[in-house]
Structure 1
Amino acid sequence: MKKIAIVHYLPLEFYPPITNLLEIASKRDLKFKVWSTHNNKKRKVFGNTDNVNIVRNYFPSVKEKGWIRLFKYFYFNLKCLMGLVFYSPDKVLYFESYSVWPVYWYLKICFKKPEIFIHYHEYCSKDWYKNGMKLVNFYHKYELETLYNLATWISQTNLDRVKLFLKDHPNIEPSKVKALPNYPPQKWSGFKRMKTSDKLPIKVVYVGAISLKDTYIKEFCEWVVKQEGRVIFDIYSYNLHQNTLEYLKGVESNYINFFEHGIEYDQIPEIINGYHVGVILYKATTINYKYNAPNKLFEYLAVGLNVWYPKVMMGIHPFGSSKVISLDFANLGGFQYEKEIELEGKKDSQIYVAEEALNPLINELER
């Protein structure tokens, strides 16, 4: 049985693609040891299984003093490095530049050189590294100097991001850079679609992180209010800034409901399948989000929802259909929504399944 080490510094529960990977790949001839941090948003803990052993460390809080946060970063790195030494994996998969340090130094000191696999949940431009967290920019230099050359596999979430990554790093062999999309598990597609009314009101749902600055949440709420009950809008989000939380709690409308505890990932299909439409509201203020086809697009489609998304999100354009339509969320005045959705709730003809999407990576890990 192949021994696979996974270094995922950010809490696993915030990233369904990594928990889906572990659930699916652990059924194969693979043994995983994972280093990550405790989630600090009261999410249901993703625990150990027969073939998955997770080692957790404390996740720094922005409210803590700088020296405390720095100590926690150092402690994670050191504990992970020591763990890699004792585990002696056949292959190492790390996620994003936050996780680089222990992998780099393990390669420096170990005799048995494992294969290196790298995946990015987000596309990080050169400017993002330059203007972002200094420690992560420092880690990224290890990637540029060593890890990209040694890696067997590097993946982004879609082909647009692959092209952007290769443009940033023209010296990397293109054949090792793959697209690894974020699809929900196959069981979601088999979930029985709840019968929805083919009459008004139209029930719209949003699931996920939300922000007044980076999403059209305020604009969309104002539009919903103007529909005077012909549209009902439910928001499920636990990941939001204080000003966004205060805004949503302050919205006085019988047509808008805000659930601040969000939804646990495995409960999403059961809860949202009674809606007509799932909305995506990112303003695409960065190139990362401009070329993003987010998890929620495929999650909405898996349970039969129509999808409305901002036309500025170029990454969703390839998935456009009669069920997936682009809108100008800054100007919804003339939107004839009654004509633009399939109220009967048919599922999309194209099925997006995590097991199929992840198979190339799992095969390489198993090889």
Structure 2
Amino acid sequence: MVQSSGAAFSSARAARWLELALVHGVGPMLGRRLVAAFGGIEPLLAAAETGLPSVPGVGPQLSAALAHGHKDEALALLARCEAAGIGVICPDDDLWPPSFELLEDAPLLLFVKGNPSVLGGERMLAVVGARKASREGVLLTRRWSHYLASHGVSVVSGMAAGIDAAAHGGALEAEGITVAVLGCGLLALNGEQPRQVEAVARQGCVVSEFFPAQSARPEYFPRRNRIIAGLAQATLVMEADLRSGSLITARLAAEYGREVFAVPGSVLGSAHAGCHQLIRDGAVLVEQADQLLQQMGWQGADLPSRNRKMEYNPVDAQEAAVLAALAGGALHLDSMAETCGLTLPELSPILLRLELQGVVERLPGSRYLLASELCKT
């Protein structure tokens, strides 16, 4: 586990990039092109003070906005960030994610809570999916994320409800590293978000390209998704229909040359239709978490053994019979009772006891599954 570094980090170079980001009309792509054209942020801002020469994409209005300067505003914003425990990093910093290096649409800077050094990890996996996920999808995501985090994988997601929350939760339970990317500013949180941000920041970091006071807007989430895809070496879509924003993340990851994985599901509904479309488009189908580790060559970096659950020993013959019945896969309550030779009143307290101990998981439709099968190795 990587603990938060505590004090917020912001460099003098970040202040200069923040001046550029504050210019109305300068977005990530244009900003990076301008910096490249002038050979760095300092030469660009120096030239802007005297009036920019003719630059493609820069008209008189934008040139005037650049010349106006935002130094005082940038310094004041940095002071507010420092007071709130928010760091700011930019492309000139050693802590800038190396995975952004070749991305034309990488952000101009990142506002950070937690430990920004984790952004340079070599085993970063985006885990994304539906906000209104099924209970089974949430359970599977939590178990897989726990398993992957316990094998040294940093879990990246968007801190939304459903699959995102389960991904962060599984990594936190494993005492592994997790990174949350927000679609709003770090001072525009509401509801449970402040508590969630603090929890993630203690074991990784929370990042946003939006100014701290910017509230979430629908058009911000595709921008957030490109950062999720850009940070990670691979993206895993757990459960998604055809309208899910997680498909944007997956397609951006593919455009960035990153591996894309998808978990298949039932064809009787639309909940997994997005995953099936991704598989048809070339995503790698995975049915077990360790298949992803093998595909990425990420085996052999387990965290300390305390993160692994000990093998469960049944307390009596009835528990043993239930576990043996579930060894073949998920079973309906009625089928399990028949297989084990137990009445429903006898079986129900056994299942409740096993569920409370994390040995079995209850699925929709009165079905049960061994918890170990959800992150089967």
TM-score by length of 2: 0.34
Higher strand share: 1
Structure with more of its chain in helix, by fraction: 2
TM-score by length of 1: 0.35
Larger of the two Rg values belongs to structure: 2
